[in-house]
Structure 1
Amino acid sequence: MEENRPIKIKVDDLVLIFGKNKENALKMLKEGATKKEILSKAQCTVGVNRANFEIYEGEFFVIMGLSGSGKSTLLRCLNRLIEPTAGDVYVNGENITRKNHKELLDVRRTEMSMVFQKFGLLPHRTIVENVAFGLELRGEDKQSREKKALEAIETVGLQGFERQNPAQLSGGMQQRVGLARALTNDPEVLLMDEAFSALDPLIKTEMQDELLGLQSKLRKTVVFVTHDLDEAIKLGDRIVIMKDGIIEQIGTAEEILTNPATPYIEAFVKKVDRKTIITAGSLMHEKPTVVRFGKDGPEGTLRKMRATGLDVLPVVDDQQGFLGFVWVNDALQCAKAEEKNVQRIILTEVPAVTTEVTVEEMLPLISATRSPIAVIDKESRKLLGIVSQNAVVIEATRFNEQDITKLKENANNS
């Protein structure tokens, strides 16, 4: 994540303990006692154990873990629906754990909105009345709040259903109402607690896509809780994985998959389909040996191949722009003919991708050629690195057998 992006939320040594003997439990926690020991000796449960992280403005931040990991508890500490036992939460640089009740209500009504798993709709109010409910509590006049509610309803694609009641809508549509209600206040931060987990798989996928589409337009700061790793990977810019109230790892999906911080994380992500996550940027060999067009002739090219032990090299122009590949047999023939440059033997019809392209997207390219894949800058076409076929075979451990066979055959032939 870019360091110069504004920090929207900062969590500093946040602790949440359930039970009557919190002070003693907190002391035990600071002395290094485990969750199990605290439960046994103090009859208290540690919900969140010294959480520390920052969320950037406009980031889609996912908190995930299994049941009992503390993910929903942590989310509810961010707007103090649950009061933290210790630690601080900063929103826009202001410590909301130090705000009084009135100040906290202002934060909830103007800066943060929440979407719940169970929708939380009022059954005897129409859709537009449900969406406008937060504005009603805020004291806005009827005309103003209905106008804003109708705009939010249109944003989530529910125009035409404004005057119906929640019972007349499907589960997915009801969740859209909940999302519209949260958006009506125009919050800076959107908190979503397992918002899609009660939906059928097909509707869940549609809502994920809908949310990503909205996020691309609205650029809210979203904190999203889920127990579904695939959902976390699909939605999150960064992901927090929790266990027993402790944050085990924070990172992008690719960082977590390629460099799990603990054995628990390694086991947790073991069944993820890596080829949909791992990208050319993480697989590429940076600063490869190159043939410089106009400077390196056939003999110079062969010398570089002998020095590196490679039988194929990328060709770049004087601006490092990628031109294609040269193979050793072609370079030998060119040298034998005493040609002075490699222009004739540059293979230009070769695969080239940008850093964010996944292994799944590279698979057809690799299966159809014996060449490596060039990784280039989208705008300048400068060569950034090279992805070998062997690297794809090694990293993409969860391909099906047919894919693996194709890749190995091409790698052996190159």
Structure 2
Amino acid sequence: MSARLEAEQLYKVFGRRPDQAVERLRRGADREELRADGTTAAVIDASFTVDPGQIFVVMGLSGSGKSTLLRMLNGLLEPTAGHVRFDGQDLTALSARELREVRAHKISMVFQHFALFPHRSVLDNAAYGLAVQGVPRAERERRAGEALALCGLAGWEKSWPDELSGGMQQRVGLARALATDADLLLMDESFSALDPLIRRDMQDQLLQLQRTLKKTIVFITHDLNEAMRLGDRIAVMRDGRIVQTGTAEDILVRPADDYVASFTKDVDRSRVLTASAVMDTDLRGDEADCGCESGCETATPDTPFTELCAISARLSHPVIVLDDDRRLVGVVPTRRLVGFLGDGEVPAHA
């Protein structure tokens, strides 16, 4: 499967002589050295790929460069160096007019602060991207209505934005992005301004929509639990650099450095991990012979951690993990489950 979106060695430098600053960064200079000269390196040598239908989450603390990175993906900010390719097309080589065409038809953005027009109805707000495309009114209202219905806002088409709650306003913003049928959605901390319960509802809504629409999504957040819940793959940024890219399990179980490990220490591991992350794969060969007269419960590599704990509680021996062909691929002793609920560091033969 070829990548839908590719970022290759992206740099964004603000200030004097940015090209020279990039060369200094490539030779090993750090952010602080550049800042002393009045130059800010917002993004440094960022590379990643996003496959079709994948939710790719970029997370990091404030000032890590994640929002700057997002804005380079659709040309709102021009990279100082590097390339962005979408479906094989180099967006960094396009003219301003060509970029506007791409943003109008292929890439939609959902902002943190809703960005709704207060003088337009909910339906007209959802249809705004289609109006920019020049879609006839009847067609854009039909498509906007369908997008609103997908986002749970059927019946609110004639309302005004100030009549809606914050969560509902953000649903209008999401519907506006979906109505254009863009292939790529860029979401910049889209749920961070919402109350916790509404935020979780919006996460549920996005995951439900994704199961149906299978969009390619780049989602920016500073909330690790949100990243772990939404992301098929996650990139962790620090000081303008991507320090680790991987699945939620990769980042929890195999952090790239102390910074990532400290970032993940308070995550609820039971909501993220599966049997594949916690099982012992150093097998002797006799683990499948549990001594039970009748078949006992087993797990698969994809069995969620919470379900694995429930199975373990019902057994007097380690949980056996079998693949799709019923071959033994690992075992999970109770001590490993307890260890992973703690700091995640468990002896290989616990």
SS at match of 1:353: coil
Name the counterpart of 2:347.
Answer: none
The correspondence of residues 239-258 of structure 1 with structure 2, limited to 5 A, is 239-258=234-253
Q: Does the Cα contact within 8 Å between 1:274 and 1:398 map onto a contact in 2?
A: no
* Cα shift at 1:27: 2.6
For these two proteins, the number of residue pairs brought into alignment is 345
Equivalent-residue separation in structure 1 for 2:150 and 2:305 (angstroms): 34
Name the counterpart of 1:338.
Answer: none
SS at match of 1:160: coil
* Cα shift at 1:102: 1.4
Name the counterpart of 1:309.
Answer: none
Alignment of 1:393 onto 2:321: no
Alignment of 1:204 onto 2:204: no
* Cα shift at 1:265: 0.7
| CA 398–26 in structure 1, closer or farther in 2 if over 3 Å, else same | closer
Q: Does the Cα contact within 8 Å between 2:192 and 2:221 map onto a contact in 1?
A: yes
Q: Deviations over 1:41-87 (max 9, x none)?
A: 2x110010010111111110000000000001100100011111111
Equivalent-residue separation in structure 1 for 2:246 and 2:197 (angstroms): 28
**Structure 2 residue runs without a partner (length 5+):** 345-349
Between the aligned residues of both structures, percent identity stands at: 44
Name the counterpart of 1:6.
Answer: 2
Q: 1:96 aligns with which of 70, 91, 97?
A: 91
After superposing the two structures, state which structure 1 stretch, 270-279 or 251-260, moved more: 270-279
After superposing the two structures, state which structure 1 stretch, 274-283 or 6-15, moved more: 274-283
Alignment of 1:359 onto 2:308: no
Q: Aligned partner of 1:370: which letter? A: S
Equivalent-residue separation in structure 1 for 2:341 and 2:297 (angstroms): 19
Name the counterpart of 1:372.
Answer: 318
* Cα shift at 1:31: 2.1
Q: 2:161 aligns with which of 153, 166, 171?
A: 166
Q: Deviations over 1:16-60 (max 9, x none)?
A: 01113313322322221110100102x110010010111111110
Q: Does the Cα contact within 8 Å between 1:273 and 1:398 map onto a contact in 2?
A: no
Q: Aligned partner of 2:224: which letter? A: L
Name the counterpart of 1:36.
Answer: 32
Q: Aligned partner of 1:209: which letter? A: D
Q: Aligned partner of 2:299: which letter? A: V
Q: Deviations over 1:348-402 (max 9, x none)?
A: 2x33112122332222222333211111235x44433221222223332169xxx
* Cα shift at 1:290: 4.4
* Cα shift at 1:274: 2.1
TM-score of the aligned structures, taking structure 2 as reference length: 0.94
Q: Does the Cα contact within 8 Å between 1:359 and 1:396 map onto a contact in 2?
A: no
Q: 1:346 aligns with which of 278, 290, 293?
A: 293
Equivalent-residue separation in structure 2 for 1:124 and 1:261 (angstroms): 49
Q: Aligned partner of 2:14: which letter? A: F
The correspondence of residues 149-188 of structure 1 with structure 2, limited to 5 A, is 149-188=144-183
Q: 1:236 aligns with which of 231, 239, 260?
A: 231
Equivalent-residue separation in structure 1 for 2:206 and 2:234 (angstroms): 17
Q: Does the Cα contact within 8 Å between 2:265 and 2:343 map onto a contact in 1?
A: no
Equivalent-residue separation in structure 2 for 1:249 and 1:150 (angstroms): 40
Q: 2:288 aligns with which of 298, 314, 332?
A: 314
Equivalent-residue separation in structure 1 for 2:225 and 2:313 (angstroms): 26
After the TM superposition, list the runs of 4 or more consecutive aligned residues in structure 1 that deviate by more than 4 angstroms.
none
* Cα shift at 1:140: 1.1
Name the counterpart of 1:305.
Answer: none
Q: Aligned partner of 1:181: which letter? A: R
Alignment of 1:190 onto 2:185: yes
* Cα shift at 1:270: 1.3
**Structure 1 residue runs without a partner (length 5+):** 292-312, 316-324, 327-344, 400-411
Q: Aligned partner of 2:163: which letter? A: Q
SS at match of 2:219: strand
CA RMSD of aligned residues (A): 1.7
Equivalent-residue separation in structure 1 for 2:7 and 2:45 (angstroms): 9
* Cα shift at 1:289: 4.2
* Cα shift at 1:287: 7.3
Q: 1:124 aligns with which of 119, 126, 131?
A: 119
The correspondence of residues 204-223 of structure 1 with structure 2, limited to 5 A, is 204-223=199-218
* Cα shift at 1:110: 1.3
Equivalent-residue separation in structure 1 for 2:135 and 2:270 (angstroms): 50
